Amino acid sequence: MRNHRRLIAASAVAVVSVAALAGCTGTEQTVASGVCGTFPYTLTHAFGSSTFDEAPTRVAVVTDVDLDIALALDVEPVIYPGYELGAWQQETIDERGLELDSYDPADGIDFEAIAAAAPDAILATSGWSLDEDYTKLAAIAPVIAYTSEDGLDAMTWSDRTELAGCALGLADEADAAIAEVGASFADAAAANPEFAGKTITYAVIHPDQITYSSYEGSDVSFFTDLGFTLPDIAAEFTGDNAGLSKENIDKLEADVLVIGYPFGGEGLLTRAELESDPLFQSLDVVKRGAYGVIGDDVASPIAYPSPLGLPWALEKVVPVLADAAN
């Protein structure tokens, strides 16, 4: 099972930014940081600025998403947080024959371990606790931090990838990674025209609630870039009001319903418990068989998108969506 602490941190929003899949580089957030890929390079971010005299060669990462970005840019981190690796991460590491050092993230960032790795840059575009950890990290090495003062969620995965590419001197590699993901989604949409125009609901079973993750205003482009749309009822939910009681399961109705179980047996309901619920069984979408399930391995890269995890998740989820849509 993937790291629960990280999943809980975003429990209200299980589908985060997967927008701007292709050709959406050069956002206001990153352009304002300096001349991309030219050194010395000064990155202006939410906590001040970081200056890189030359392209970094020893990069530490502090989150799973930052590990994904580094691997997607063919960067071998000098240290990373030793969460249980996702299948897409393990496959990449094995294919490249990498032997990466890690630290125990049970108590948060291990600053001593990072300092001992002697990085010349710290990739922290997705750190949930960066507002608390930035000063200590910056004392070790220049930090590649998220640039939006509106906070972490204001940046898309492609923003983060481009940001890392600029600061690491790998702008072309970042653009290529973003474009490759965009092409993968475009190809999947073209191969499955039955997705076009169908409404979809994506809900996640968290330990304390059923979360209506595809609310209007959330970034659900993992699904909309495949041609799906949102049902009208999605407008009833917001990031601060995405919880759904068992008594209101009928609000999950749509042309297609997808349920994620990132916490396995530790969720509010197991799959067996939900599927045996009479109200759930009474949903038209369930009666039609237009209902699919994704597990922990896929729910994580959807919730925490990256140029490494998205293509892997797409390959796993499209067959589920195709079965449900048909």
pLDDT tier at 12, thresholds 50, 70, 90: very low
Nearest of 165, 127, 170 to residue 146 by alpha carbon: 127
Say which residues have a Cβ less than 8 Å from residue 76's Cβ, sequence separation at least 6.
70, 96, 98, 100
Q: What is the CATH T-level fold of the domain 24-184, as seen in this structure?
A: Rossmann fold (3.40.50)
Question: What is this structure's pTM?
Answer: 0.85
Nearest of 237, 189, 190, 230 to residue 211 by alpha carbon: 237
Which pLDDT value is given to residue 99?
Answer: 96
Domain boundary assignment for the chain: 24-184, 192-325
CA distance 16 to 301: 10
Q: Is the pLDDT of residue 10 over 60?
A: no
Handedness of CA 16, 18, 19, 20 (dihedral sign): positive
CA distance 97 to 94: 5
pLDDT in tens, 89-139: 999 999 999 999 999 999 999 999 999 999 999 999 988 789 999 999 999
pLDDT in tens, 160-210: 999 999 999 999 999 999 999 999 999 999 999 999 999 999 999 999 999
Question: One fold for both 24-184 and 192-325?
Answer: yes
pLDDT in tens, 214-224: 987 777 888 99
Which pLDDT value is given to residue 34?
Answer: 66
Q: What is the CATH T-level fold of the domain 192-325, as seen in this structure?
A: Rossmann fold (3.40.50)
**Which percentage of the chain shows pLDDT scores above 90?**
72
CA distance 116 to 288: 57
More confident residue, 293 or 1: 293
pLDDT tier at 149, thresholds 50, 70, 90: low
pLDDT tier at 325, thresholds 50, 70, 90: very high
